[in-house]
Structure 1
Amino acid sequence: MRFITLAPQFDRIRVARWVGAAMLTLPLLTASPTRAEWSAANDEANRQRMMASMRDTAAANDRRNADASFQKGLAGGRSTTGGSGGTAPNSATPSTGAFAATPGAERGPQSVVASRTVFINIEETTPQMVARVTREAAEGKAQSQYNLGRLNYAGLGVARDDVAARRWFGAAATQGHPAASAQYGYLTMYGRGGPVDRDAARAALKIAAAGGDSYGQALYGMMLITDAVEKRTSDAPLPEAIGLLTRAADAGEAVAQATLGSVIYFYGTNGAEQDPAKAIHYLKLAAAQDHPMALQVLGEQYMVGGTVLEKDTAKGWALITKAADLGQSEAMRPLGLSLVQGSNGQAKDPARGLKYIRMAADQHYPAAMGDYAAILYEGALEPKDLARSVRYAREAADAGDGDAQVMMARFAYFGDGVPKDMTVAARYARLAADSGHAEGQHILGALYSGGEGVPKDMKEAVRWFRKSAAQGNADAIAALQEPESIAAARGM
């Protein structure tokens, strides 16, 4: 079965190394960050971004309050050093100043404020602030609608509620509020607080980008790149998208930095030249902000090194581990497999490795679900559980994982955990074979050879055996030496 033959290598294309002064010319991966589905890591990063945004806005308003108090103190001849309250360094909860009726402009990624000590006059309690913002939002004030969306999204003063957040962001977005449009675009793009609505997301993000919101620019640029991937036009120049991403990245937006680093300049797509130095530059910026994908990709680069980065396995694993701990399933899998098998410089730690594989499987990452299905089947790391093995394998196979498709073909062929069904076996074998999986090609050839689940057709069998043999599959090579295969091959 799959597990005992798996090598915990990093994705062959994703970690293709930069040789000499240039990288290999590679196709855009379907697993690139622009194609990534919503994940808990993405969502938590955006919520933290929202909280940081509120902290920065609060700081700006606190400064205005302090300045106003200072001017008032000058006019009245009173001391201004004993304000009615202070904000603690590294406060996790923004002051009510974050929701003043007319806050200052918000720019950049709103990275977390390390510390701040200002004196403010607290005019509202949190419940009073929530009540006021709610009232003003109901009256149609766009800024208050945006603020109420932030309160609901971050769970400040109210229970966290993505449905309400989406509704209020959407209300402000219809009035052209750039920051609200960016958040509404994010929620509708990833189906948070409601169904996925790419048309609504595209319209909202376009407004946000045009309004100068850097997060909106990042997401809209990323969406344009995604559209190109889906239309298979990644080689066509997209100066608008690259321009938006560059402006957002240079303003500090991690998602833009990660996209430029792991897609645009990593591969040289959408009209950009492949540029290892730029790719690493942006990956480092995004990784410094704990962007999970950037941490993973940068870690992979350190694992093998090149002309831009000196190989540093320890640093590579540190970055990959951090990405995994932040919820990046693509980082969990190689880390987990390396720990289970004691490979790639990792000390053998099956229990810890299993934890990461299981975490990635629980996020419905197809390759990890296939790994976990094999673990459950083998019964070495966990007690054998055929029913769960089949369940994970089927979901992974239906999501496109070739190894899991081979597992399902075998399950159906032998009636192992599922009813014996040659038609089902042939269907999964064909899915794996069509994706280029060597064992899937061999199995499909064998089914054609025996007329099981498909009509007997030795020429078709030979065609699949040849494809599998070309990838070094020993069973396919042996099958081509069978007299029936030799006879069929003469007439081809």
Structure 2
Amino acid sequence: MFGKLLKRSKSTGSRKPDFQRGLAAFEAEDYAAAVADWLPLAERGHAEAQYRMGQLYARGQGVVRDFGDAAHWFRKAAEQGHTEARFSLALCYANGEGAAQESALPVRWYKTVSKTNPAAAEANLALLYPNGLGIGPDIAQALHWYRLAAEAGHAEAQHHIGLLHAFGQGVPQDHAVAAEWYRKSAEQGYAVAQHALASLYANGQGVERDIEQALAWYERAAEQGFVNAQLALAIVYEHGTGVEADPARAAAFYRQAAEQGHPVAQVNLGLLYARGQGVPKDYRETLKWCRLSAEQGNVNAQFNLGLIHSNGLTGSPDYAEAAVWYRKAAMQGNVGAQVNLGLLLAHGWGGRPELVEGVDWLRKAAAQGHSGAMSNLGALYATRDSKAYNPIQAYVWYIMAAASTQPGPEREGLEAKAHELGAGLTSEDRHKAQVIMEEWKKNPKLMVTG
């Protein structure tokens, strides 16, 4: 927007617009000067200038960012056969970029003014936003412009058509057609499409399952530094999926992806160091890579950091630090972290006991069906010198723990404890326990804070 309202300085007002001069200004990051040269050319039908103006509006460089105007100029260039503009216009339609958002300032302004003076609102909207507030998602239009760009050899457009067919967006889902488009793009060296095609071969979707082809395309993408392909290769070689397991090769690919900051690759590389698979066993390296992953929010890395600190794998145990990481993982629903944090708090390891919170975390884990959490709750409630002592609750949790455990000595031990507790309960207490268990079966989450 505002492109037609820009005022040219006296020094440039009489100059003849020059595309190359605008390009030089753009490369020097003097976007206003680029607009001064490109806008007049765009208005006269210069396709490349139209495309460039679309980019400036999309990025908010030299003009106020506005996807409506971006789409306007992309369309002008696209209708003249500009391949990149066709692709960019397709992206606008696919993503609905520039579509009016309820919270956007111009939308709120327009709705407010139109209530009192509709005519004035429409007039001002046309003045300030001559090309509208944007375009809504339109997959059919997106596919039309993608196809025109793809048929002209645009690799990204070919990949995007493949995506639409793979996920059935605007077209029937068809992995075979997706594979054809991915291949066209992949053969031009587009790493994202190479990875997508490899995934189809790995899973036998739209093509016959072929691990050799999958590896070949993954490797071509990985060689270009595509992190998801590096991760895929690492997983294949770690687990020996269709190939002989090769921990050293897995570690090498994990490292490539981890050094690019991929959180899953970071934690997996750390775990290889913990096991000494493909790399020397070194918990300090495990700590390093798990911390990098955990700081990005990876729940498995957070749980493993808790284990490292609570077990003192790189020094003395640090329960306070362990609690920090267990809590982060527990809040994301990691059941192991919920159990370990619950026990740490309930028993006061590394500090004073936080019984209420500890029990609450154990109940959350029990609500996910964790038998260990149930048996630990039984033990807490059964301990006479504990502030949590409650024989009815102990009886309940031992019974439920036994029911969640496979037949064998462990289950028999839990049943024996429940029987011993039950023998000391009154018939009224056993009835209360039965009610609690029936409520549990209806909705385990109700027991979390009960």
Q: Distance in 1 between matches of 2:269 and 2:234?
A: 11
Mind listing any 5+ residue stretches in structure 1 that lack a counterpart? 1-99, 102-119, 159-163, 189-193, 229-236
Distance 1:423-1:344 versus aligned 2 partners, 3 A rule: same
> How far does residue 330 in structure 1 lie from its aligned partner after superposition?
1.0
> How far does residue 221 in structure 1 lie from its aligned partner after superposition?
6.1
Q: Distance in 2 between matches of 1:378 and 1:359?
A: 20
Q: Is the 8 A contact 1:402 1:435 kept in 2?
A: yes
Q: Distance in 2 between matches of 1:351 and 1:464?
A: 36
User: Superposed, which structure 2 residues align to 1:75-154 within 5 Å?
Assistant: 124-125=24-25, 126-127=27-28, 130-135=31-36, 136=38, 143-148=51-56
Q: Distance in 2 between matches of 1:444 and 1:255?
A: 49
Q: Distance in 2 between matches of 1:408 and 1:227?
A: 43
> How far does residue 382 in structure 1 lie from its aligned partner after superposition?
5.9
Residue in structure 2 matched with residue 172 of structure 1 by the alignment? 70
Matched, 1:345 2:278: yes
Distance 1:428-1:381 versus aligned 2 partners, 3 A rule: same
Higher RCO (Cα < 8 Å, 6 or more apart): 1
Q: State the one-letter code of the partner of 1:405.
A: Q
Q: Is the 8 A contact 2:56 2:70 kept in 1?
A: no
> How far does residue 391 in structure 1 lie from its aligned partner after superposition?
2.9
Q: Is the 8 A contact 2:405 2:411 kept in 1?
A: yes
Q: Is the 8 A contact 2:323 2:341 kept in 1?
A: yes
> How far does residue 337 in structure 1 lie from its aligned partner after superposition?
2.4
Distance 1:184-1:210 versus aligned 2 partners, 3 A rule: closer
Residue in structure 2 matched with residue 59 of structure 1 by the alignment? none
Q: Is the 8 A contact 1:255 1:291 kept in 2?
A: yes
Further displaced range: 134-143 or 310-319: 134-143
Distance 1:127-1:394 versus aligned 2 partners, 3 A rule: same
User: Superposed, which structure 2 residues align to 1:293-442 within 5 Å?
Assistant: 293-305=228-240, 308-339=242-273, 341-381=274-314, 385-416=318-349, 424-435=357-368, 437=370, 439-440=372-373, 442=375
> How far does residue 405 in structure 1 lie from its aligned partner after superposition?
1.8
Q: TM-score, normalised by structure 1?
A: 0.53
Distance 1:337-1:305 versus aligned 2 partners, 3 A rule: closer
Q: Distance in 1 between matches of 2:297 and 2:135?
A: 24
> How far does residue 316 in structure 1 lie from its aligned partner after superposition?
2.3
Distance 1:445-1:224 versus aligned 2 partners, 3 A rule: farther
Distance 1:316-1:149 versus aligned 2 partners, 3 A rule: farther
Q: State the one-letter code of the partner of 2:28.
A: P
Q: Is the 8 A contact 2:374 2:397 kept in 1?
A: no
More helix by share: 2
Q: Percent of aligned pairs with the same residue?
A: 22
Q: State the one-letter code of the partner of 2:413.
A: A
- The C-alpha deviation readout for 1:450-489, integer Å capped at 9, x for no partner, is 887997274664333332446x9x866632342527979x
Matched, 1:286 2:221: yes
> How far does residue 347 in structure 1 lie from its aligned partner after superposition?
0.8
**Aligned with residue 462 of structure 1, among 399, 420, 423:** 399
> How far does residue 380 in structure 1 lie from its aligned partner after superposition?
4.2
Residue in structure 2 matched with residue 9 of structure 1 by the alignment? none
Q: Distance in 2 between matches of 1:475 and 1:137?
A: 78
Residue in structure 2 matched with residue 182 of structure 1 by the alignment? 91
> How far does residue 302 in structure 1 lie from its aligned partner after superposition?
1.9
Q: State the one-letter code of the partner of 1:322.
A: Q
> How far does residue 415 in structure 1 lie from its aligned partner after superposition?
4.4
> How far does residue 356 in structure 1 lie from its aligned partner after superposition?
1.1
Q: Which protein has the larger Cα radius of gyration, Structure 1 or Structure 2?
A: 2
**Aligned with residue 255 of structure 1, among 174, 180, 192:** 192
Mind listing any 5+ residue stretches in structure 2 that lack a counterpart? 1-17, 44-48, 76-84, 98-102, 105-133, 150-154, 424-433, 438-450
Distance 1:422-1:319 versus aligned 2 partners, 3 A rule: same
Q: Distance in 2 between matches of 1:267 and 1:445?
A: 45
After superposition, the CA RMSD in angstroms is 5.1
- The C-alpha deviation readout for 1:214-273, integer Å capped at 9, x for no partner, is 546646866887899xxxxxxxx96246634651354034334434544x554457x877
Q: State the one-letter code of the partner of 2:221.
A: A
Q: Distance in 2 between matches of 1:322 and 1:334?
A: 12
Q: TM-score, normalised by structure 2?
A: 0.57
> How far does residue 413 in structure 1 lie from its aligned partner after superposition?
2.4
Q: State the one-letter code of the partner of 1:172.
A: A
> How far does residue 385 in structure 1 lie from its aligned partner after superposition?
4.9
Q: Distance in 1 between matches of 2:95 and 2:55?
A: 16
Q: State the one-letter code of the partner of 1:482.
A: K
Q: Is the 8 A contact 2:238 2:247 kept in 1?
A: yes
> How far does residue 292 in structure 1 lie from its aligned partner after superposition?
1.6
> How far does residue 389 in structure 1 lie from its aligned partner after superposition?
3.2
